[in-house]
Amino acid sequence: MASSGSLHDGFVPGRHLIDAYGNGGFRFAEMSHRGSILVTPSGIRAWDVTEPRAIDRNALRPILAEAGAVELLLVGTGLDIAPFPDALRRWLKEGGIGLDVMQTGAAARTYNILMAENRKVAAALIAVA
């Protein structure tokens, strides 16, 4: 991750819009990152998930850690919408977090709209080429 702001171990604190996506990464906070990202109210972090089937409780733990500040999680599963395991859906619901699964581009755009509305939203976005 190249940085012009404050970067700590793959984490950029603060709420940021997703400026662009594609070519294997994302642009946000005047930075560029190759790879997937996890966007929470506390900041944006590098996310080591590269395919939907790798999304598990461990991968989503940072979302649950901010459960009070997150009411909806948008999951971008790449170029195609992928099924999301029922057990993970229930786990998030028990934590008070709703879920919407869609293509990464749609998830990034939806995140920007909801964040601009000051909604309690987070996003787990798998990078696409």
Mean pLDDT of 103-128: 98
Read off the pLDDT band of 7 (50, 70, 90).
very low
Q: What is the 3-state secondary structure (H, E, C) of the chain?
A: CECCCCCECCEEECCCCEEEEECCEEEECCEEEECEEEEECCEEEEECCCCHHHCCHHHHHHHHHCHHHCCEEEEECCCCCCCCCHHHHHHHHHCCCEEEEECHHHHHHHHHHHHHCCCCEEEEECCCC
Superfamily designation of domain 11-125: MTH938-like (3.40.1230.10)
- The predicted pLDDT at position 10 comes to 83
Read off the pLDDT band of 1 (50, 70, 90).
very low
Q: What percent of the chain has pLDDT over 70?
A: 93
Mean pLDDT of 85-105: 97
